[in-house]
Protein backbone atom coordinates (compact mmCIF):
# COMPACT_ATOMS: atom_id res chain seq x y z
CA UNK A 1 0.00 0.00 0.00
CA UNK A 2 1.34 3.41 -0.88
CA UNK A 3 1.71 6.34 1.46
CA UNK A 4 -0.92 9.06 1.05
CA UNK A 5 0.57 12.54 0.85
CA UNK A 6 -1.69 14.73 2.90
CA UNK A 7 -2.73 18.27 1.93
CA UNK A 8 -5.57 19.45 4.16
CA UNK A 9 -6.32 23.06 3.13
CA UNK A 10 -6.30 24.75 -0.29
CA UNK A 11 -7.80 27.75 -2.08
CA UNK A 12 -9.13 27.51 -5.63
CA UNK A 13 -11.34 29.45 -8.05
CA UNK A 14 -14.45 27.94 -9.61
CA UNK A 15 -16.55 29.45 -12.38
CA UNK A 16 -19.79 28.43 -14.00
CA UNK A 17 -19.96 28.40 -17.77
CA UNK A 18 -21.07 31.49 -19.68
CA UNK A 19 -24.52 31.33 -21.23
CA UNK A 20 -24.70 31.16 -25.02
CA UNK A 21 -25.96 34.15 -27.03
CA UNK A 22 -29.44 34.35 -28.49
CA UNK A 23 -29.90 34.68 -32.27
CA UNK A 24 -31.72 36.98 -34.66
CA UNK A 25 -33.52 34.91 -37.28
CA UNK A 26 -36.73 35.06 -39.30
CA UNK A 27 -38.85 32.30 -40.72
CA UNK A 28 -38.31 31.77 -44.40
CA UNK A 29 -41.24 30.20 -46.18
CA UNK A 30 -42.37 30.09 -49.79
CA UNK A 31 -43.99 33.39 -50.75
CA UNK A 32 -42.85 34.83 -47.41
CA UNK A 33 -39.17 35.74 -47.73
CA UNK A 34 -39.12 37.37 -44.32
CA UNK A 35 -41.58 35.74 -41.94
CA UNK A 36 -41.94 36.23 -38.22
CA UNK A 37 -38.99 36.15 -35.82
CA UNK A 38 -37.89 32.70 -34.65
CA UNK A 39 -34.33 33.24 -33.42
CA UNK A 40 -33.18 30.52 -31.03
CA UNK A 41 -32.05 30.90 -27.42
CA UNK A 42 -28.51 30.40 -26.19
CA UNK A 43 -27.75 27.38 -24.01
CA UNK A 44 -27.30 27.81 -20.29
CA UNK A 45 -23.72 27.57 -18.98
CA UNK A 46 -22.72 24.50 -17.02
CA UNK A 47 -22.76 24.41 -13.22
CA UNK A 48 -19.82 23.47 -10.99
CA UNK A 49 -20.31 20.82 -8.31
CA UNK A 50 -18.09 19.15 -5.74
CA UNK A 51 -18.78 15.45 -5.39
CA UNK A 52 -17.65 13.04 -2.67
CA UNK A 53 -15.09 10.42 -3.70
CA UNK A 54 -14.10 7.42 -1.59
CA UNK A 55 -10.84 6.98 -3.53
CA UNK A 56 -9.30 10.33 -2.53
CA UNK A 57 -7.60 10.86 0.81
CA UNK A 58 -6.10 14.35 0.45
CA UNK A 59 -6.48 17.62 -1.46
CA UNK A 60 -3.13 17.14 -3.20
CA UNK A 61 -4.56 17.43 -6.72
CA UNK A 62 -5.67 21.01 -6.01
CA UNK A 63 -2.08 22.04 -5.28
CA UNK A 64 -1.31 21.77 -9.01
CA UNK A 65 -4.56 23.09 -10.45
CA UNK A 66 -6.28 26.10 -8.90
CA UNK A 67 -8.88 27.15 -11.52
CA UNK A 68 -11.93 25.14 -12.57
CA UNK A 69 -14.54 26.26 -15.09
CA UNK A 70 -17.63 24.51 -16.41
CA UNK A 71 -18.38 24.45 -20.14
CA UNK A 72 -19.98 27.50 -21.75
CA UNK A 73 -23.44 27.23 -23.22
CA UNK A 74 -23.62 27.08 -27.00
CA UNK A 75 -24.72 30.11 -28.99
CA UNK A 76 -28.05 29.79 -30.80
CA UNK A 77 -27.77 29.08 -34.52
CA UNK A 78 -30.55 30.58 -36.58
CA UNK A 79 -33.78 29.14 -35.31
CA UNK A 80 -31.99 26.41 -33.31
CA UNK A 81 -31.43 26.73 -29.57
CA UNK A 82 -27.88 26.41 -28.33
CA UNK A 83 -26.84 23.33 -26.35
CA UNK A 84 -26.49 23.61 -22.57
CA UNK A 85 -22.90 23.60 -21.30
CA UNK A 86 -21.68 20.44 -19.56
CA UNK A 87 -21.72 20.58 -15.78
CA UNK A 88 -18.34 20.17 -14.09
CA UNK A 89 -18.06 17.65 -11.24
CA UNK A 90 -14.94 18.03 -9.10
CA UNK A 91 -14.15 15.01 -6.91
CA UNK A 92 -13.07 15.72 -3.33
CA UNK A 93 -12.35 13.45 -0.35
CA UNK A 94 -15.13 12.59 2.04
CA UNK A 95 -14.79 14.97 4.99
CA UNK A 96 -14.15 18.11 2.89
CA UNK A 97 -15.60 21.39 4.18
CA UNK A 98 -16.34 23.94 1.45
CA UNK A 99 -16.17 27.67 2.27
CA UNK A 100 -16.64 30.85 0.30
CA UNK A 101 -13.27 32.48 0.86
CA UNK A 102 -14.55 36.03 0.41
CA UNK A 103 -17.45 35.82 2.88
CA UNK A 104 -16.32 33.02 5.17
CA UNK A 105 -19.68 31.31 4.62
CA UNK A 106 -19.69 27.52 4.89
CA UNK A 107 -21.28 26.35 1.66
CA UNK A 108 -21.45 22.73 2.70
CA UNK A 109 -19.60 19.62 3.78
CA UNK A 110 -19.06 16.40 1.86
CA UNK A 111 -20.09 13.56 4.17
CA UNK A 112 -20.54 10.56 1.89
CA UNK A 113 -19.58 9.05 -1.43
CA UNK A 114 -21.50 10.54 -4.36
CA UNK A 115 -22.83 13.55 -2.42
CA UNK A 116 -22.98 16.64 -4.65
CA UNK A 117 -22.76 20.29 -3.61
CA UNK A 118 -23.41 23.09 -6.11
CA UNK A 119 -20.78 25.83 -5.80
CA UNK A 120 -21.07 27.93 -8.98
CA UNK A 121 -24.09 28.31 -11.25
CA UNK A 122 -23.80 28.65 -14.99
CA UNK A 123 -24.98 31.84 -16.67
CA UNK A 124 -28.42 32.08 -18.26
CA UNK A 125 -28.53 31.74 -22.02
CA UNK A 126 -29.43 34.78 -24.10
CA UNK A 127 -32.86 35.12 -25.72
CA UNK A 128 -33.52 35.01 -29.45
CA UNK A 129 -35.51 37.71 -31.25
CA UNK A 130 -38.70 35.60 -31.15
CA UNK A 131 -39.18 36.79 -27.56
CA UNK A 132 -39.32 40.47 -28.52
CA UNK A 133 -42.11 40.58 -31.10
CA UNK A 134 -44.90 42.98 -30.12
CA UNK A 135 -47.83 44.47 -31.98
CA UNK A 136 -45.87 47.55 -32.93
CA UNK A 137 -42.67 45.68 -33.81
CA UNK A 138 -43.44 42.39 -35.50
CA UNK A 139 -39.96 41.88 -36.92
CA UNK A 140 -37.59 42.71 -34.07
CA UNK A 141 -33.85 42.46 -34.51
CA UNK A 142 -33.30 42.46 -30.78
CA UNK A 143 -31.66 39.55 -28.99
CA UNK A 144 -29.76 39.23 -25.71
CA UNK A 145 -26.32 37.87 -24.96
CA UNK A 146 -25.63 35.05 -22.55
CA UNK A 147 -24.75 35.97 -18.99
CA UNK A 148 -21.44 35.08 -17.36
CA UNK A 149 -21.34 32.19 -14.92
CA UNK A 150 -20.95 32.63 -11.19
CA UNK A 151 -17.31 32.93 -10.15
CA UNK A 152 -16.21 32.21 -6.58
CA UNK A 153 -13.06 31.84 -4.56
CA UNK A 154 -13.39 28.62 -2.61
CA UNK A 155 -11.45 27.32 0.36
CA UNK A 156 -11.42 23.57 0.88
CA UNK A 157 -10.60 22.21 4.32
CA UNK A 158 -10.27 18.47 4.84
CA UNK A 159 -10.98 17.16 8.27
CA UNK A 160 -9.59 13.64 8.23
CA UNK A 161 -12.42 11.19 7.87
CA UNK A 162 -10.78 8.02 9.14
CA UNK A 163 -12.24 5.05 10.89
CA UNK A 164 -9.46 5.12 13.48
CA UNK A 165 -7.46 8.14 14.64
CA UNK A 166 -4.12 7.45 16.31
CA UNK A 167 -3.67 9.94 19.17
CA UNK A 168 -0.58 10.45 21.26
CA UNK A 169 2.33 12.66 22.25
CA UNK A 170 5.12 13.28 19.75
CA UNK A 171 7.58 10.44 19.30
CA UNK A 172 5.50 7.72 20.96
CA UNK A 173 5.53 5.59 17.83
CA UNK A 174 2.21 6.41 16.14
CA UNK A 175 3.72 6.47 12.66
CA UNK A 176 5.55 3.21 13.30
CA UNK A 177 2.28 1.70 14.51
CA UNK A 178 0.48 2.96 11.39
CA UNK A 179 3.17 1.41 9.21
CA UNK A 180 2.94 -1.87 11.08
CA UNK A 181 -0.85 -1.98 10.83
CA UNK A 182 -1.23 -0.84 7.23
CA UNK A 183 2.17 -0.85 5.53
CA UNK A 184 2.00 2.80 4.45
CA UNK A 185 5.74 3.48 4.63
CA UNK A 186 5.27 6.88 6.28
CA UNK A 187 8.34 8.77 7.55
CA UNK A 188 9.63 7.85 11.00
CA UNK A 189 12.13 9.82 13.09
CA UNK A 190 13.35 10.18 16.66
CA UNK A 191 12.39 13.82 17.11
CA UNK A 192 9.23 15.68 17.93
CA UNK A 193 6.79 16.55 15.16
CA UNK A 194 8.20 14.17 12.58
CA UNK A 195 4.58 14.02 11.41
CA UNK A 196 3.48 17.56 10.58
CA UNK A 197 0.34 16.47 8.75
CA UNK A 198 -1.74 13.33 9.10
CA UNK A 199 -0.68 10.17 7.33
CA UNK A 200 -3.38 7.75 6.26
CA UNK A 201 -3.28 4.02 5.71
CA UNK A 202 -5.80 1.30 5.03
CA UNK A 203 -6.29 -2.07 6.71
CA UNK A 204 -7.87 -4.39 4.16
CA UNK A 205 -9.80 -7.47 5.19
CA UNK A 206 -12.30 -9.77 3.46
CA UNK A 207 -15.05 -7.94 5.38
CA UNK A 208 -14.25 -4.25 4.87
CA UNK A 209 -11.52 -1.65 4.62
CA UNK A 210 -10.51 0.38 7.68
CA UNK A 211 -8.88 3.77 7.20
CA UNK A 212 -6.36 4.63 9.91
CA UNK A 213 -5.13 8.20 10.41
CA UNK A 214 -1.93 9.10 12.24
CA UNK A 215 -2.91 12.41 13.84
CA UNK A 216 0.19 14.57 14.50
CA UNK A 217 1.50 14.57 18.06
CA UNK A 218 -0.51 16.40 20.69
CA UNK A 219 1.34 18.30 23.41
CA UNK A 220 0.20 19.63 26.75
CA UNK A 221 -1.59 22.93 26.13
CA UNK A 222 -2.67 21.93 22.62
CA UNK A 223 -6.28 22.92 23.36
CA UNK A 224 -5.04 26.48 24.02
CA UNK A 225 -3.18 26.52 20.72
CA UNK A 226 0.30 25.55 21.91
CA UNK A 227 2.46 24.17 19.15
CA UNK A 228 0.19 23.21 16.27
CA UNK A 229 -2.39 21.89 18.69
CA UNK A 230 -5.61 23.25 17.23
CA UNK A 231 -4.56 22.28 13.72
CA UNK A 232 -4.01 18.74 14.99
CA UNK A 233 -7.06 18.43 17.21
CA UNK A 234 -9.54 19.44 14.49
CA UNK A 235 -8.93 16.14 12.71
CA UNK A 236 -10.37 14.20 15.65
CA UNK A 237 -13.84 15.53 14.77
CA UNK A 238 -14.05 13.13 11.87
CA UNK A 239 -12.87 9.75 13.14
CA UNK A 240 -15.12 6.91 14.25
CA UNK A 241 -12.76 5.58 16.90
CA UNK A 242 -9.78 6.88 18.90
CA UNK A 243 -6.65 4.82 19.44
CA UNK A 244 -4.55 6.30 22.25
CA UNK A 245 -0.89 5.40 21.68
CA UNK A 246 1.26 5.61 24.82
CA UNK A 247 5.01 5.29 25.16
CA UNK A 248 5.64 2.55 27.70
CA UNK A 249 8.97 4.15 28.68
CA UNK A 250 7.54 7.61 29.55
CA UNK A 251 4.93 7.52 32.37
CA UNK A 252 1.97 6.17 30.33
CA UNK A 253 -0.61 7.06 33.00
CA UNK A 254 0.25 10.76 32.81
CA UNK A 255 0.29 10.64 29.00
CA UNK A 256 -3.19 9.18 28.99
CA UNK A 257 -4.52 11.74 31.48
CA UNK A 258 -3.09 14.69 29.53
CA UNK A 259 -4.45 13.41 26.22
CA UNK A 260 -7.94 12.98 27.66
CA UNK A 261 -7.78 16.44 29.25
CA UNK A 262 -6.59 18.23 26.11
CA UNK A 263 -9.14 16.53 23.86
CA UNK A 264 -11.92 17.19 26.37
CA UNK A 265 -11.04 20.89 26.61
CA UNK A 266 -10.98 21.18 22.82
CA UNK A 267 -14.31 19.42 22.25
CA UNK A 268 -15.74 17.16 24.91
CA UNK A 269 -17.98 15.13 22.63
CA UNK A 270 -14.91 13.66 20.92
CA UNK A 271 -14.32 11.64 24.08
CA UNK A 272 -17.69 9.97 23.61
CA UNK A 273 -16.27 8.07 20.63
CA UNK A 274 -15.16 4.45 21.17
CA UNK A 275 -11.50 4.16 22.10
CA UNK A 276 -8.78 1.61 22.63
CA UNK A 277 -5.41 2.15 24.28
CA UNK A 278 -2.09 0.85 22.98
CA UNK A 279 1.06 0.69 25.10
CA UNK A 280 3.93 0.87 22.63
CA UNK A 281 7.68 0.10 22.93
CA UNK A 282 7.25 -2.91 25.19
CA UNK A 283 10.46 -4.28 23.65
CA UNK A 284 12.27 -1.67 25.77
CA UNK A 285 10.59 -2.68 29.04
CA UNK A 286 11.72 -5.30 31.54
CA UNK A 287 8.09 -6.07 32.35
CA UNK A 288 4.61 -4.94 31.31
CA UNK A 289 3.23 -2.43 33.86
CA UNK A 290 -0.18 -2.59 35.51
CA UNK A 291 -2.29 0.35 34.33
CA UNK A 292 -5.71 1.49 35.59
CA UNK A 293 -7.29 0.96 32.16
CA UNK A 294 -7.36 -1.79 29.56
CA UNK A 295 -4.64 -1.65 26.93
CA UNK A 296 -2.88 -3.60 24.17
CA UNK A 297 0.86 -4.12 24.81
CA UNK A 298 2.73 -3.86 21.50
CA UNK A 299 6.04 -3.15 19.89
CA UNK A 300 5.46 -1.47 16.56
CA UNK A 301 9.19 -1.70 15.89
CA UNK A 302 9.34 -5.51 15.93
CA UNK A 303 5.67 -6.18 15.17
CA UNK A 304 4.74 -7.75 18.50
CA UNK A 305 1.00 -7.48 19.31
CA UNK A 306 0.13 -5.89 15.96
CA UNK A 307 -2.00 -8.73 14.68
CA UNK A 308 -4.16 -8.68 17.81
CA UNK A 309 -4.92 -4.98 17.28
CA UNK A 310 -5.69 -5.57 13.63
CA UNK A 311 -8.12 -8.38 14.49
CA UNK A 312 -9.75 -6.23 17.18
CA UNK A 313 -10.31 -3.34 14.76
CA UNK A 314 -11.78 -5.65 12.14
CA UNK A 315 -14.11 -7.17 14.75
CA UNK A 316 -15.24 -3.78 16.11
CA UNK A 317 -15.53 -1.84 12.85
CA UNK A 318 -16.32 -4.49 10.25
CA UNK A 319 -18.15 -7.30 12.01
CA UNK A 320 -19.89 -5.35 14.79
CA UNK A 321 -19.94 -1.81 13.38
User: Hey, what domains does the chain have and what are their CATH numbers?
Assistant: 1-158 (2.70.210.12), 162-319 (3.40.50.300)
Phi, psi of 231 (to 5 degrees): -65, -35
Q: What is the pLDDT of residue 27?
A: 83
Q: What is the pLDDT of residue 227?
A: 45
The residues of the chain scoring below 50 in pLDDT are 1-4, 186-196, 222-223, 225-229
**CB contact at 8 A, 108 and 117:** yes
Q: What is the pLDDT of residue 31?
A: 66
pLDDT in tens, 290-302: 999 999 999 999 9
**CB contact at 8 A, 252 and 244:** no
* Spatial distance between the Cα atoms of 204 and 50, rounded to a whole number of angstroms: 28
Q: What is the pLDDT of residue 49?
A: 98
Q: What is the pLDDT of residue 191?
A: 35
Q: What is the pLDDT of residue 211?
A: 86
Q: What is the pLDDT of residue 20?
A: 98
Q: What is the pLDDT of residue 188?
A: 41
Phi, psi of 181 (to 5 degrees): -75, -35
Q: Is 281 left (phi over 0), alpha (psi -120 to 50) or beta?
A: left
Amino acid sequence: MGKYRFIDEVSIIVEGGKGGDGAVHFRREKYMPKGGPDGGDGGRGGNVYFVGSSSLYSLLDFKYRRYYKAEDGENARGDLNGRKGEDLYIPVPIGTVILDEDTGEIIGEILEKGQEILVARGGEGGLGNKHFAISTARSPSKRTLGKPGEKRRIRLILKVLADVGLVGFPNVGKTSLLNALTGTGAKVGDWEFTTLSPNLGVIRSPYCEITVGDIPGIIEGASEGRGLGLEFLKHLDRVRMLMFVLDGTRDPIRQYEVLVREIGKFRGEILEKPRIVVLNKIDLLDEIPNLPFEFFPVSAKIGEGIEEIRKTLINLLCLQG
